[in-house]
Amino acid sequence: MLPDFFEFYSPTKIVYEAGVVSDLKPELDIIGIQKYFVISDHIIDDLGLVQKVADGLEAAGCEMVGKYLDVAQDARLNDVQTCAEKVKSSGAEGIISVGGGSVIDTAKAVNILFSVGGDLVEDYSGAHTLTQPLKPHVVVPTTAGTGSEVTFVAVIYDEENKEKLAFPDKFLMPNLAVLDPEMTVSLPPKMTAATGMDALTHAVEAYVGIQAAPISDVFALGAIELIMKYLKTATEDGQDIEARGAMLIAATMAGISFTHSMCGCVHGMAHATGALYRVPHGVANAIFLPFGMEYNFEEITERLARLASVMGEDVSGLSEEDAAKKAIEAVRKLTASLNKLDALSLRLSEVGVPEDGLADIAEGALNDGTSFYNPREVDPDELLPFIQRAF
Ligand SMILES: [Fe+2]
């Protein structure tokens, strides 16, 4: 069935090649500026990846005029303000972010203050508050998960008020996403598995969500196929460039799909679990994904049945309902295989969530913005038994 209305906007140029970070001249010539400020973190820097980008800039006739490496595990409000001051005084004409979701989101928020000025919370809270394009932002992802390199949102943690603030704005979509699998080979197995499951959750929730539309479906299905085929290999053998490349592409495709179709109750539960018990986002998504698919089952049976074959399951001769169950089984087989590699936990009890905290997670999922897009109404009482089974 076709939706009555949808829109699709994805202005970020994507380049993919192993080693392309060292050969960016054609792309940077198009952007047309020379002075870049690099935003990253110390782990990425210690791995030599910031230097790799600096060398790539130099080879392209550009210059790294400054860098900020203090981005924390969560993108933090204080970092945004401090970093923006440094970017402004550096003489930079644009930003390159090198890292995972926190680094990229920090850079997006920094670019607002760098390009337009003002105070992030006071002047830009709410959605789509910007009225002009920002300065060039090039993203080099070092994880394959968040898809932030192509999304329109920056999520920033306000330490003082202990809340995550979302800044959705089409002008936050980066100019260029540089997908270089060599930049992800040193990602440890646990991070590879968790970030990859985050990408899978984006794609599945975008595909079954109420805002799913034909164009975002294509990106979701393409991402799911690649992740089911390559995530285990990328986790098992980090040096496998084909698997690393496939996961980078898949995470970006999943990012394009969910930036249009949004996420649902799995992300709602994961956000609550992350806020309450500091469980990493990808780990929480991996634990909740099959249970979220079960919670929504009646509303999405037909879509799940289509997913099963994309996930590589043989559904010939099966009823729609049985085929749909195969999609959930396929996710469980994948997470079990990652668990066997000691790269992923499968239960809330294994990641520090107390049993008496489960009701709070259900309540948190209801209050999360994603509940609006879930195919089944998020009712904490009805969701709780599924969360209990994930314990
Ligand atoms: Fe996510």
* pLDDT tens digits, one per residue of 144-177: 999 999 999 999 998 888 788 899 999 999 999 9
Do 211 and 179 share a domain, yes or no? no
d(CA 102, CA 198): 14
Predicted local distance difference test score (pLDDT) of residue 160: 86
Buried b (16+ CB within 10 A) or exposed e, 161-191: eeeebebbbebbbbbbbbbbbbbbbbbebbb
DSSP structural state of residue 41: B
Long-range CB contacts for residues 353-358, cutoff 8 Å, separation at least 24? 353/273, 353/276, 353/277, 353/279, 353/391, 354/277, 355/391, 357/276, 357/277, 358/384, 358/387, 358/388, 358/391
Q: Which residue has the tokens 């392309």?
A: 20
Same domain, 222 and 264: yes
Residue type, 217: D
In a domain, 40, yes or no: yes
What is the 30 CA–ligand 1 centroid distance (Å)?
Answer: 31
Question: Per-residue pLDDT averaged across 27-54, rounded?
Answer: 97
- For residues 376 and 297, state if they share a domain: yes
CA gap 46, 33 in Å, rounded: 27
Q: Is residue 3 part of a domain?
A: no
- Rg (C-alpha) for the chain, rounded Å, is 20
Residue 49 domain-assigned (yes or no): yes
**The pLDDT value given to residue 219:** 98
pLDDT tens, residue by residue, 375-384: 999 999 999 9
How many angstroms separate the alpha carbon of residue 205 from the centre of ligand 1? 10
Domain finish residue from 183, 211, 246: 183
- Asked if residue 155 lies in contact with residue 164, where contact means CB atoms within 8 angstroms, the answer is yes
- The answer on 146 and 257 residing in a single domain is no
Q: How many A from CA of 166 to the centre of ligand 1?
A: 13
29 and 144: one domain?
yes
Predicted confidence (pLDDT) per residue in 356-369, tens digit: 999 999 999 999 98
| Residues 301 and 323: beta-carbon distance below 8 Å | no
Same domain, 351 and 206: yes
pTM of the model: 0.97
CA dist 351 and 69 (Å) reads 28
* 306 and 232 part of one domain: yes
Q: What is the spatial distance between Cα 84 and Cα 335, in angstroms, rounded to a whole number?
A: 39
Q: What is the pLDDT of residue 159?
A: 84
- Specify the CATH number for the domain of residue 68: 3.40.50.1970
Closest CA to 77 of 144, 156, 22: 156
C-alpha 105 to ligand 1 mean position (Å):
13
- Please tell me the predicted confidence (pLDDT) of residue 161: 83
Alpha carbon of 70 to ligand 1 centroid (Å): 23
Where in the sequence is the domain holding 65, given as residue range(s)? 13-183
| pLDDT (average), residues 312-339 | 98
User: What local confidence, expressed as pLDDT, does residue 275 receive?
Assistant: 87
358 and 228 assigned to the same domain: yes
Beta strands of the chain (E only): which ranges?
A: 13-16, 35-39, 63-68, 94-99, 137-141, 153-158, 163-168, 176-179
- How far does residue 153's CA lie from ligand 1's centre (Å)? 12
195 and 169 belong to one structural domain: no
Domain count along the chain: 2
Listed residues: CB within 5 A of ion ligand 1: 198
pLDDT at residue 284, as a whole number:
98
pLDDT class for 74, splitting at 50, 70, 90? confident
**Distance of CA 201 from the midpoint of ligand 1 (Å):** 7
Whole-number Å distance, alpha carbon 355 to ligand 1 midpoint, is: 24
Q: 380 CA to middle of ligand 1, Å?
A: 21
Residue 4 included in any domain: no
* DSSP 8-class letter at 19: T
86 Cα–ligand 1 center, Å: 29
